[in-house]
Amino acid sequence: MSLRHSYTLIAPFYDAAIARATHAARARSLSALPKEAGQVLLAGVGTGLDLPHLPPQHHYVGLDLNQAMLCRALPRTSHVDFVPIQGDAQRLPFADASFDSAVLHLILAVVPEPAHCFAEIERVLKPGGQVLVFDKFLRRGQPALLRRLANPLMRRIATRLDVVFEDLLAEAPGLALEHDQPALAGGWFRMIRLRKL
């Protein structure tokens, strides 16, 4: 089953499953967006759970692979300048240095090739641009036996359980880590901020 198909099935239930659990962490992460107006990419915007937390001064592009998810996001866009685009976060349909900021909330552990997604984010960011990440990651060397055992099935349905953020960062040398803190589930979910050099 492809991610496009599985998330079409998941879309009607997605908010009920994760909205409450991730609400506060999303708000904290997005509070780091710049005060000055800019172009902001929401990669993997999903049903738009980030949208109520967005400051109104920016121009937002919300990209998602799945049309059903984008349709659920649109009613949440009334207070922001927002353009929905259906596309793949691993092959972004944007020119180099197009965005001042990028938001990657719960997308790096969803895409089949998170390193490709991360490299694409680095490519489309302007120098000095920031990346806000909120997702679940293993740490290097962490056994997490149950997560690793469940990963072959879970990655086909909804999400990967084996992504190591430090490995992604090593593949994107133009991004510098500025902030990294635990967010949920005993530190399995992390809030991370990076800057393009």
Domain ranges of the chain: 3-196
**In contact, 102 and 43? CB cutoff 8 Å:** yes
Report residues of the chain scoring pLDDT below 70: 1-14, 141-161, 185
Strand segments, DSSP code E, in the chain are 39-43, 59-64, 81-86, 99-105, 125-136, 175-184, 189-196
The CATH H-level superfamily of 3-196 is Vaccinia Virus protein VP39 (3.40.50.150)
Name residues whose C-beta falls within 8 Å of residue 125's C-beta, 6 or more positions apart in sequence.
97, 99, 100, 101, 102, 131, 196
120-168 pLDDT tens trace: 999 999 999 999 999 999 877 666 555 555 445 455 555 666 889 999 9
Residue 154 φ then ψ, to 5°: -60, -35
Tokens of 195: 């800057």
- pTM for the model stands at 0.86
Tokens of 194: 């990076």
Q: Which amino acid is at 119?
A: A
